[in-house]
Amino acid sequence: MKTLTFLSSLPLLAIAIPAQATIHTVHNDPLYNAQYSSVDAAISAASPFDTLLIHGSGVSYGNITLNKSLTLIGPGHDPALNERASLNFLTIATGSDSSVVEGLNLGGTTCNSYGVRFDRNRFTSYLSLYSTADSVTVRGNVFMGSYVNVDPGAENVLVSNNYFSEASTGRQFYDGSATTLVLNNVFVRSSTSTSSGNLVFDATSSFTVFANNVFITATVDSFNPDDCPNFSFQNNLSHSDAGTLVGMGPNNLDNTAPTWDLGGDYPEFSYDHDYTMLSGTPATGASDGGQVGVMGGTYPFLNSGLPSLIPRVVGTQLETPYVPVGGSIDVNFQAEQGHP
């Protein structure tokens, strides 16, 4: 960490962004000194490859359509650290290639562009990748009672290191494509409903590779890999205290309890939990020799959803004991760099 002097918190958020891009600050509370009070207005004013810093607020920013290549950064989704920045619905429209969406609280979200990245967000409804979506990355997110739907026409999709927490009925993964990889995720279904909709997968004939994931269900019938004959399962772990789950085929850890202690058989997502597996098998059952689940692979899960692209203030100290009329205030602060 380093100590710097600043006069406003807004320039702090900009220092990690490339100098050639313009930074647009957004807050829908007029008491805050942001450049724009709505995300729509900031998008309209922005040029391609600019960045929008969307501040946390108790009021949602509403339904948003992104129609150019931009980076949208929120404060993270752990309410103990920051107020969330929420969008009711986000449409990533054509023309938004290479956009980044990070650290936001999202309702329904759709995408039909190229090279879009969804990092460290909290989804409360669904994420649908349409047939024209290509090279989309979905990583480090929390899906609370929500799901991912990958159209069979979408190409080169990576879904990695996400936590899917489902306490009610409804699938967690729909469809997929021959170039979709689903790696190092945790899928938890704590519902004991006997409804036909209480399933992990939507029955499909699409091709998708699942590797190094953890599947935990409160009922045996919820785990249905047999409904998806063209899915490829490699080095995944499955477990249910309710009985024996359907096997996923060779080279998987079928019906194997995960080596973590999360205070419950079917742990819904919690900001207080450590999702690191204990040492040894089955923690090292992943295809790369590392952990199965969200802490494995190259992008370990971060509970808080703190964005990787901006620093965060962790301490401040006033240096000016009093302020004369027309004077200024000097403040020393400590900041952590963005979490990689």
Asked whether residue 259 falls in the same domain as residue 154, the answer is yes
Secondary structure percentages of the chain, helix, strand, coil, to 5:
5, 30, 60
Asked whether residue 276 falls in the same domain as residue 245, the answer is yes
Per-residue pLDDT, averaged over 193-198, amounts to 84
CA 35, 38, 44, 47 torsion-angle sign: positive
Contact yes or no for 66/43 (Cβ under 8 A)? yes
- Write out pLDDT tens, residues 212-228: 999 999 999 999 999 99
Q: Is the pLDDT of residue 265 over 80?
A: no
Asked whether residue 223 falls in the same domain as residue 337, the answer is no
Asked whether residue 287 falls in the same domain as residue 334, the answer is no
Q: Structure pTM?
A: 0.88
- Write out pLDDT tens, residues 107-131: 999 999 999 999 999 999 999 999 9
Q: How far apart are CA 137 and CA 100, in angstroms?
A: 10
- Write out pLDDT tens, residues 52-63: 999 999 999 999
Asked whether residue 220 falls in the same domain as residue 189, the answer is yes
Give domain status of residue 114, yes or no. no
Query: How many domains does the chain divide into?
Result: 2
Asked whether residue 179 falls in the same domain as residue 317, the answer is no
Q: Is the pLDDT of residue 317 over 70?
A: no
Instruction: Give me 333's structure tokens.
Output: 């602060």
Asked whether residue 271 falls in the same domain as residue 168, the answer is yes
Give domain status of residue 98, yes or no. no
Asked whether residue 224 falls in the same domain as residue 323, the answer is no
Q: Is the pLDDT of residue 1 over 80?
A: no
Asked whether residue 214 falls in the same domain as residue 323, the answer is no
Give domain status of residue 323, yes or no. yes
Q: Which is nearest to 121 in space by CA: 337, 303, 338? A: 303
Give domain status of residue 170, yes or no. yes
Asked whether residue 328 falls in the same domain as residue 243, the answer is no
pLDDT of residue 106: 99
- Write out pLDDT tens, residues 134-180: 999 999 999 999 999 999 999 999 999 999 998 777 899 999 999 99
Q: Which is nearest to 187 in space by CA: 203, 206, 177, 174? A: 174
Of residues 331 and 259, which shows the higher confidence score? 259
Q: Which is nearest to 308 in space by CA: 139, 66, 186, 179? A: 139
Contact yes or no for 296/136 (Cβ under 8 A)? no
Least confident of 161-165, 299-303, 320-324, 334-338: 334-338
Give domain status of residue 197, yes or no. yes
Asked whether residue 152 falls in the same domain as residue 258, the answer is yes
DSSP code string of 258-315 = -S---SSSS----TT---PPPSSTTTT-STTSS-SSTTSTTS---TT---SSS-EEEE
Asked whether residue 298 falls in the same domain as residue 319, the answer is no
The residue range of the domain holding 170 is 125-307
Share of residues in the chain with pLDDT > 90 (%): 69
- Write out pLDDT tens, residues 69-112: 999 999 999 999 999 999 999 999 999 999 999 999 999 999 99
Q: How far apart are CA 72 and CA 54, in angstroms?
A: 7
Give domain status of residue 234, yes or no. yes
